[in-house]
Amino acid sequence: MEKKWWHKTVGYQIYPKSFQDTNGDGIGDLKGVIRHLDKIEKLGANVIWLCPVFASPMVDNGYDISDYMDIDPSFGTMEDMKELIAEAKKRGIRILMDLVVNHSSDRHAWFQAALQDPFGKYGKYYVFREGKDGKEPNNWRSIFGGSAWEKVPGYDNLYYLHIFTKEQPDLNWENPELREEIYEMILKWMDLGLGGFRLDAISHLKKNYQYTNLPPDGPDEYNMAFEYFNNVDGLADILCEMKDALTIGEYDHMGPEDVEDVIGENGSFSSVFDFCHTLDNVRNPKWGNTVALFDDYRDQLFAAQKIVDGRGMLCNFLENHDKPRSIDRFLMPEDQNLYSEKMLPVTNFFLPGIVFLYQGQEIGMRDDPKQSIQGFVDKPTFAIYDRLIAEGKTDAEALEQINCESREHSRTPMQWDASAEAGFTTGTPWFPVNKNYTELNYEAEEKDPDSLLWFYRKMVAVRRREDLEETFLYGTLIPEYETVSGVLAYRRKDEKNNVLILTTSLADGITLPFTDTIEEVLLNNYDTCEAGEETIRLQPYQCLVLKVKE
């Protein structure tokens, strides 16, 4: 594998709206990110992934872009963005922007022109089709619910495609003129010093335009025709034109046959997120306890790595802006304590690939269940609620499921200190701060060397240690104790180092056969390491990173 600068990525994802407000309007902004760059540097991150800050009507929290070369006023100005890039660079940090090019906002100048002339130049930037038999062109369902087609105002039988909300019309990536506009925009951002992009919904660019109706899969008579607009054949041919920058794709269901095209030496992306665990939730009856989930999680991690088989780099993560908080997702309440909270991130942090942490993960921020559906603000959350009610669930049952699965848990404002609104804003926050902020906040953990925050710093420091970094980047992955329930363990090995990573989700701990000779304990969430001549004792929820002799 040819070595690249971005292989050493330890990323930190920021949801700007919830990170830090500096002007009292209750919405986080770019100046707020600048304010905390020193903390991100101290954590050890060298890349920041910034969720969308482009100009947007905010129908989908900025994932509906109305101008690709401007910053939304709620976040600041282009000058603020340039300052952020420059200040981050001083600290050895590169900025990665969240780019949405599967669709634009319906307020984008391109789409406004397209509505005026659907058959002209800008009409060809989108997907317009005539209806059939007095209905939509086909019965595809939008990912956010309802038809994926919206009637064009002023036309009796013309529709445009939107696989997300109707305010997010899909761009027509079959059009080379559109692609050139996108690439030109990307180059302008790179000229400003940007490190690269996280490409949202990128696996949907290519569609299968057969437009046949499919058997309805719900009472609304629509079909979630995912295979018709996700990873469709020919997608790689489009994406290969976008690989000059660091690009991390939101690309799921990558099979062994796809690896070379997607993240190989000549693949479309630098890396893609490993989504193998994103449906895991300990509160789902499918698992119902920490150990059962932990074993499934382990098996999925190793299966994903086997698919890649050293041909590229996955992006490993536990949290992002679209998932509940990892402590509540992976650990039953009775299993949540400082030991298990420190153990959890070690499970995948030293696997081959690059890594990303999400704001608040480093202090152990939690889900924030609501007492009513009105406590949420995200449009898709309400769409899910309506679907659950339509399927026959009671209000209480629907709310329980949403409280378990909602992506809004990750979007509560960052908890900086115990002052009003957790130090996030001097005004009224756009979304309520989690009520636990008076005890769980950054300032309190900064003062406690035994806190989760300090442990994360140690973990990052081990990964980036000069004599170990290349082993974690390019060393062989050897799974260990694969059949032992409640244990997730693996070895990273090359000609210089042999590092063993051991973690357990068992409340009683476990004794394992062990024949290695420990040279150095690199990381430990306990004060002791109980290794004998032929066994090693893992205490409840213990994690160990051990440098062992050959």
Number of CB atoms found within 10 A of residue 186's CB: 22
HEC readout, 387-401: HHHHCCCCHHHHHHH
Instruction: At 346, list the tokens.
Output: 């070690």
Annotated active-site residue in 29, 80, 250, 295? 250
Of 284, 172, 195, residue with least CA distance to 4: 195
DSSP 89: H
Residue with tokens 């698919």: 307
For the question of residue 495 being annotated catalytic, the response is no
Spatial CB neighbours of 306, under 8 Å, sequence gap ≥ 6? none
3-state secondary structure of 112: helix
Question: Could you tell me if 413 and 331 are in contact, meaning their C-beta atoms sit under 8 angstroms apart?
Answer: no
Q: How far is CA 538 from CA 417, 486, 508, 545, in A?
A: 34, 11, 9, 12
Name the DSSP letter for residue 542. -
Q: How far apart are the first and last CA of the chain?
A: 25
Kindly report the backbone phi and psi dihedral angles of residue 221, in degrees, each rounded to the nearest multiple of 5, phi listed first.
75, 5
- From the list 98, 200, 258, 421, the catalytic residue is 200
Task: State the CB neighbour count (10 A cutoff) for residue 407.
Answer: 18
Residues, the chain, total? 550
Q: Pull the structure tokens for residue 457.
A: 């710093």
User: CA–CA separation, 325 vs 367, rounded Å?
Assistant: 6
Q: Among this protein's residues, is 29 annotated catalytic? A: no
CA distance 365 to 362: 8
H or E stretch at 116: helix 109-116
Under 8 Å between Cβ of 487 and 542: no
d(CA 493, CA 352): 11
Distance from C-alpha of 455 to C-alpha of 174, rounded to nearest angstrom? 48
Distance separating alpha carbons of residues 421 and 434, to the nearest angstrom: 9
Provide the annotated active-site residues: 200, 250
